[in-house]
Amino acid sequence: MGRLGLAFRSFFSILKNKEKAEKIRNILCQGPSEGIQLLTILQRDGRLVDFLQEDIARYSDAQIGAAVRTVHNGCKKALEEIFEIELIQKEDEGSAITIEKDFDPSVVKLSGHVVGDPPFTGVLKHHGWRAEKSNFPEIPKGQDPSVIAPAEVEISKPPEEE
């Protein structure tokens, strides 16, 4: 498809789909990427970046476990606020399932002895996740979209004022 055809197709796609229009607006306005925005929220609510950037080798397993609980709770809260996440396969992990001919390989990953054509019968190892909806908050005007977490500086009183 040539550029003119792509332009017309994009134009009508944007008119019909509000989410696509917003994504195009962000790209054209050099707005924040959803990836950086997600990382910002996971840092704000769960301190995920702080945790991942920390050298945890110097801490005991008990200390790491306590930190992980805090990070887990905050990040889970953030994901629940932003996304509606659903299981791809509703069956219990470990149960036998059949994968039909028209399966989407981007939705179902086959492993093991995959020979021939579907249908295939196998054991569900992981049910998978799908983001059904996302709801990213608006970025305040003028905010640098590349900042995951601002530096924090505590200002203390000068010695003569104490």
The domain spans of the chain are 1-31, 32-82, 85-134
Distance CA 92, CA 139 (A): 39
Distance CA 126, CA 89 (A): 8
Whole-model pTM? Answer: 0.67
Q: At 139, list the tokens.
A: 């970025």
- Three-class DSSP category at 130: strand
- Angle at alpha carbon of residue 72, lines to 19 and 68, rounded to 5°: 145
Helices 34-46 & 61-82 angle (0-180, nearest 10): 130
Average pLDDT of the segment spanning 37-46: 94
Percent above pLDDT 70 for the chain: 91
Tens of pLDDT, residues 20-32? 777 776 666 555 6
Q: How far is CA 89 from CA 64, 83, 118, 123, in A?
A: 32, 18, 17, 12
Host H or E run for residue 129: strand 129-134
pLDDT-derived band at 63 (thresholds 50, 70, 90) equals very high
**More confident call, 91 vs 31:** 91
pLDDT at 10 over 80: no
Please, how many CA atoms are within 13 Å of residue 27, restricted to the half-sphere of its CB? Answer: 6
Cβ 86 vs Cβ 130: under 8 Å: yes
Q: What pLDDT is recorded for position 79?
A: 95
Which of 50-54, 86-90, 127-131, 155-159 bottoms out in mean pLDDT, i.e. has the lowest?
Answer: 155-159
Query: DSSP state, 136?
Result: P
Which of 29-38, 52-61, 108-117 bottoms out in mean pLDDT, i.e. has the lowest?
Answer: 29-38
